[in-house]
Amino acid sequence: MFPPGERAAAYFGILTDQSAQPLVSSSIEPFVAWQSGEELSNAFDQGLEAVQLLHTEYADLLSRLRTSREVRTDRSRVAFSLGTVFIHKKFGYKGVVYGWDQECERDPAWAAAVHADPTQPFYHVLPDEDDCQRIFGAVRISKYVAQDNMEPLLVPHRVNHRAIAHYFDSYSPDLLRYVPNSRLQYEYPDNYDAAVQQSCLDDSNVLDGPDREGEHYLAGGQDRGDEDAQAQCSRDYH
């Protein structure tokens, strides 16, 4: 527990840390409904202890999230928001965007191999598993796609992928896109308000979560060696 003076100091420190507010608001907001002074004090201490963990054990993670958010505040060149459902212009499979880069973050040899302009935005996407099975003969866990090769679907469409529920909380038929979870909303600031939201659990098929291979691809491939990345370019780009 925090002594009263330290508790107040810690609280006001949180209020002045703008980048931390979205991450801790869920711990602070429920306090207003508490009536008992002792319950309020205990809950308040628990919330502050959670924040203390963010600034100690999870300081590196918090720093990376802040940096990622700052970099992705500028969306001037980005045509597709997180959750956008699209169809690939060349191969015809559908998918949903779960991340993007202002420019290609792969090795230059990779961009050259797939004949894509590396200065355009690139997107991390979850491709529809049924489409991949039909088109490629096997499931593709994640793909890295150039903006020029994407076209948004203008009618409601759900994507069938085992990891959908790990990145998105719901699907909005009004906005024609999935609604990202809290972490992605913080990392990729945008307007995610949706009046109608439908559960996306039924879209997350096969497994409760991505398998070991899936986690490797969902990481965006940035931890691969050059040879491995080049060997996989035809698989995760298409």
- pLDDT in the model for residue 64: 80
Half-sphere exposure (CA, 13 Å, Cβ side) for 89?
A: 8
Q: Is 217 helix (H, G, I), strand (E, B) or coil?
A: helix
Give phi and psi for 168, each to the nearest 5.
Answer: -130, 145
Structure tokens, 204: 């997350």
> 6: which residues sit within 8 A by CB, 6+ positions away?
none
109 touches 227 (CB < 8 A): no
DSSP letter, residue 82: T
Q: Which of 57, 44, 32, 64 is nearest to 1 (CA)?
A: 44
> pTM here?
0.68
Q: What is the DSSP string of 141-160?
A: --EEEEGGGEEE-SS-----
Per-residue pLDDT of the chain (238 residues; tens, 9 = 90+): 444 444 444 444 444 455 555 555 555 555 555 556 677 777 777 778 877 777 777 777 778 888 888 888 999 999 999 999 999 999 999 999 999 999 999 999 998 898 899 999 999 999 999 999 999 999 999 999 999 999 999 999 999 999 999 999 999 999 999 999 999 999 999 999 988 999 999 998 655 444 434 433 343 333 333 333 333 444 555 5
Identify the sign of the CA torsion 204, 206, 207, 210.
Answer: negative
How far does CA 210 lie from the centroid of its chain? 14
> 218: which residues sit within 8 A by CB, 6+ positions away?
124, 141, 142, 163, 210
Q: Which of 115, 99, 105, 188 is nearest to 148 (CA)?
A: 115
Q: Pseudo-torsion of CA 163, 132, 98, 214, nearest 10°?
A: 50
* Angle of CA points 77, 65, 14, to nearest 5°: 120
